[in-house]
Every structure is written in C-alpha cells, then in structure tokens.
Amino acid sequence: MSKLLSFIGRRLVTFLPNELSTGELTQLLSPRQHSMLLSQRRATMIVNRVRLFAMLFAVLTPIWGIVDIMVFSSPLWIKLAILRLLTSAAFAALLVCYRPTGSMFDAYRAMAILFIIPTLFYIASHSLLAGYQLSSLSSAVATGYAFLPFVLMAGLAIFPLSLLENLLLASVLLVAQGLAGYLNWSTLNWPSFAGGFWLLILIAGVTALASTSQLAFMITLVRQALHDPLTGTFSRGSGKEILNIQWAAALRNQHPLSLAFIDLDHFKKINDNFGHEAGDKALQGFARRLHKKLRGSDSLMRWGGEEFVLIMPNTSLDKAQTAIQRMLDNDFGLRPDGSPLTASIGLAERQQDQLHNPQELLALADKRMYLAKQAGRNQVYAAG
C-alpha cells in the first residue's frame, strides 16, 4: 500500500512545479501543514482577490437590472431591482471595509462573505421568479439567473486553495443549487436540473485543479524566497519577518519570547584549510542537526556566513538556556578534521531582559554571543 501511495505521489508531482517535492504534497491537501509565512502571504492574496471579485460584482449586479426592466412586469422587476441594489451594496461594503491583515481567519471570513452574498441573491431571486407567470421571453431571461452558481464555482479558480478548502466551498454552492431546486420542486425540469447539477460538479473539479495548482506554485515560490538555498533555514529577511510576527503575538498575549544568536566557532579556519565546499557541508550538517532538535514553533534563520538566529516563542530565558545547553552537549556535528563543531551562543528574552522591540532583542542576543566568545567559546551566555 505504501509503495502504491508513493507511486501516486510521484505521478502527481509530475503535474506540478518541478521544484515541488513529494513531501510538500500534503500542503496541497490541507492548510494544516502550511508555514506561518506561507499562510500570511496566502491570506493577503486571498483577501485582495476577494476584493477584486467584490468590485466586479458590485458594478455588474445592478447593470443587469436594465434587462429586468425590459422583460419583466413592474412588480417583479422592482423587487428584483431592490434585491440587486442590496446585493451590490453588500459587495461594495466588502470591498471598502476589508483589508489584508495576513490572517487566514480573516481570509476565510472574507471568502465566506463573498460567496454567501450571491448565494443568498440566487436563492431569493429564484423564489421571486417562481411566484410569477413568465412569458417565453421573460422565461428565457430568467434562465440567466440559473448561471450564477456556475460563475461562482468557476470563480474559485482565482484563489490559491488546498483541496480540502475547495471541497468545503464547492459543497456550499452545490447545496445552494440543490436548495434552489427544492424551492421550485413543483415546476422543476428534472432532466435539465440533473444535467446542470452534473455540470456544476465538473466545474468544481476543474476549479479544484486550478486553485491547487496555484497553491503549488505559491508554495514553491514562497519556499525559494523565504529560505536560504544552502542550509534550508529561513533567510535573514524572512527571519526578521517571523521575529516581528512572534514579537507582536508575544506582546499581545503577554508571553515570553527568547532568541538565541549562534556563531560557529573558528569557522573561517574550515574554509581556509579545507575549502569552501567543506565549509558548506559543515553548515548544512549543523542546520540539519539543529532542526532535528527544534520544536515545531521554533524558527531557525541564517543570519549570514556562519551566524544563525533561533527564535523560540513562548519560552522563558531559563527554559531556553536549558534547551540550548542540551543542544550544545549533544554536539553540532564534526569539522572536516574530525574535531567537534562548536558554537558561541548569546541568549536574550523579551520579558526578563525588559526589552521594548525586536531590534533590541536581536542586539542583546548578538552582544551576549560576543561575550560567550570572549569567555572561551563553546558556551551559552544568557545574562549578567
């Protein structure tokens, strides 16, 4: 069974960006495995596209009312016009009031509102049209209302969504289509309704492929932009972004936030004596070993050269010092000559050190790292 799943995984990867690994396939299935920065960028993109969609619908929804005036009786088109104006106002409010915050909760809420508005319009308009006797021309125009779920389903393709998110949103539209059929039960053309429902399911499948493909490209681009290509750790720029996010969260929740500034001891000698390729392998080995010892909430970034920064959220200075000392005791790998690879580490914590911003946290950890070097290297310097 595992061989079959592995084979399917390899086949799926061939349809996705070349840089996407088999291990990243789970990120296409569910958002649970997404990193903080990927979620933040995806949330921003989703909200911006929701606002674009809302602007389009806010403009086009009332314009179609001109056709209603031409083909429907005055009691009907007046009710439809009121319904269109309310719907257009709701879209406009979504456009004006919503701004990207980087929160996936806000992004989900924006998408929910975006699809709830036309879904309610679709159900309400169908209920109105079912209560009137229509001529052949007005009946033909009324069929245009039936295309709204198809437009919405196709609209899912503009969002970078996982397969699970696609299924949930598509299910809402399919339920709305079924509810509209139920409201028109007595006059429903069952063959036509069944064909339309099947077409809606097919469109849902196509949009799922389109939006998960978008997500796959986004995962690849974000990974390349955010990670150091040599060690696989976060780059300096993305690490700073993570630090700012973690600082804001720690400040909001009054939680501790520790930061370790790590400098590998006598690393220049490796490059001088054994070459830069040997130095690169030592850096990769160090990062790989350290990653295995970190919690899921910790973030490791390469600050530059042989310097690394470890962000440890919700961790007091004492706990951070204990954890870092344990890492030191278990060694960071070997130098090319077989001797242990050691590091000098400076440690600082937001609350205990009474710091006011993330820049001060970085600066203090950096200063303590130099104090660790002055004290003989291969140690942690935390305070005092």
* Listed residue (150, 146, 145) closest to 202, CA to CA: 150
Q: What is the DSSP letter of 310?
A: E
Cα 381 to Cα 260: distance, rounded to the nearest angstrom: 10
Contact between 284 and 219 (Cβ < 8 Å): no
**Coil, helix or strand at residue 259:** strand
Q: How far apart are the first and last CA of the chain?
A: 57
List, edge to edge, every strand of the sheet that includes 379-381. Answer: 299-304, 307-313, 257-264, 343-349, 379-381
Catalytic residue among 165, 241, 306, 349: 306
In DSSP terms, 262 is beta-bridged to 308, 345
Length of the chain: 384
75 token code pair: 């009691």
What does the radius of gyration of the chain's CA atoms come to, in whole angstroms? 29
| Calpha distance 252→242 (Å, rounded) | 15
Which of 258, 236, 255, 250 lies closest to 347 in space, CA to CA?
A: 258
In order, the DSSP letters of 330-384 are T---B-TTSSBP-EEEEEEETTTTT--SHHHHHHHHHHHHHHHHHTTSSEEE---
Contact present, 115 and 152 (Cβ < 8 Å): yes
Compute the distance between CA of residue 313 and CA of residue 82 in angstroms, rounded to an integer: 52
**Tokens found for residue 121:** 């319009």
The owner of tokens 């849902």 is 204
How many Å separate Cα 363 from the centre of its chain?
30
Is 19 tagged catalytic?
Answer: no
DSSP string across 110-160: HHHHHHHHHHHHHHHHHHHHHTS---HHHHHHHGGGGGHHHHHHHHGGGS-
Which residues have a catalytic role annotated?
306
